[in-house]
Amino acid sequence: MRLYPQSMTRLIEELGKMPGIGQKTAERLANYILRLPAEDAMALAQAIQDLKKSVRNCSICFNITETDPCHICQDANRDRTVVCVVEQPADVITIEKTGQYNGLYHVLLGHISPLESIDPEDLTMEKLLSRVKDGTVKEVIIATNLNMEGDATALYISKQLEGYEKKVTRLARGMPSGGQLEYASVAVIADSLQGRRII
């Protein structure tokens, strides 16, 4: 049964590849685009093309940027003695939004994962290590995800920096603020107990 015109089917397919977009949502979005005035639809298509053309990775921290170095690496007000290591550019945004951090970043563009055959060489690890081994950097905050791959990556980095007189820290593990013990998993409560702090 052929339901949609061919070009509609193709757009639904393309939209459906996006994360969290199922068949139903893809159809809804395609119908929305169909009803858009032509110039608005073209603006959306253009925005996608422009993004891929003008955004690259910063040659220092590998965050996404339109200028090289990126505006964070260029910012004279940033504390150059601290580097926060994250997996993806999106993680930089998340941390920036807290307004709690004024150091520099390093984006690994992934995590170490033997299962997915992702080795340190597939990441920007070499650049990170040569960057932080430099005298300026005093602390490396490892803000990779709090899962198996993120932990493996954190462990690898801390091993590589052994003997370099750098403070290597990891994000705190515990109960999320606003959380209730009743609904927390055993692992989270165990982490939270282990990391308890004097008040």
Stretch that binds a copy of itself, among 6-14, 116-124, 151-159, 182-190 (CB under 8 A): 6-14
CA quadruple 67, 70, 72, 75: dihedral sign: negative
Residue from 60, 88, 108, 111 binding a copy of itself (CB under 8 A): 88
Q: Give min distance, CB of 21 to a copy of itself, in A.
A: 8
CA distances, 109 to each of 23, 82, 176 (Å) = 29, 19, 26
Output 175-180 pairs: Cβ under 8 A, ≥24 positions apart. Answer: none
* 11 touches a copy of itself (CB under 8 A): yes
Residue 128 sits at φ, ψ, to 5 deg, of -60, -50
* 10 touches a copy of itself (CB under 8 A): yes
CA distances, 103 to each of 90, 124, 125, 139 (Å) = 17, 19, 19, 10
Q: Give min distance, CB of 98 to a copy of itself, in A.
A: 11
- Is residue 198 packed enough to be buried (19+ CB in 10 Å), middle (13-18) or exposed (0-12)? exposed
CA torsion, ordered 94, 156, 166, 57, to nearest 10 deg: -40
Q: Give min distance, CB of 84 to a copy of itself, in A.
A: 15
Q: Give min distance, CB of 191 to a copy of itself, in A.
A: 26
Q: Give min distance, CB of 45 to a copy of itself, in A.
A: 4
- Contact string 28-67 vs a copy of itself (x = CB under 8 A): xxxxxxx-x-x-xxxxxxxxxxxxxxxx--------xxx-
* 8 touches a copy of itself (CB under 8 A): yes
Interhelix angle 148-160/125-133, rounded to 10 degrees, is: 40
Residue from 14, 68, 79, 126 binding a copy of itself (CB under 8 A): 14
* 89 touches a copy of itself (CB under 8 A): yes
Interface with a copy of itself (CB under 8 A): 1-8, 10-11, 13-15, 17-21, 25, 27-34, 36, 38, 40-55, 64-66, 71, 88-90, 93, 96-97, 99
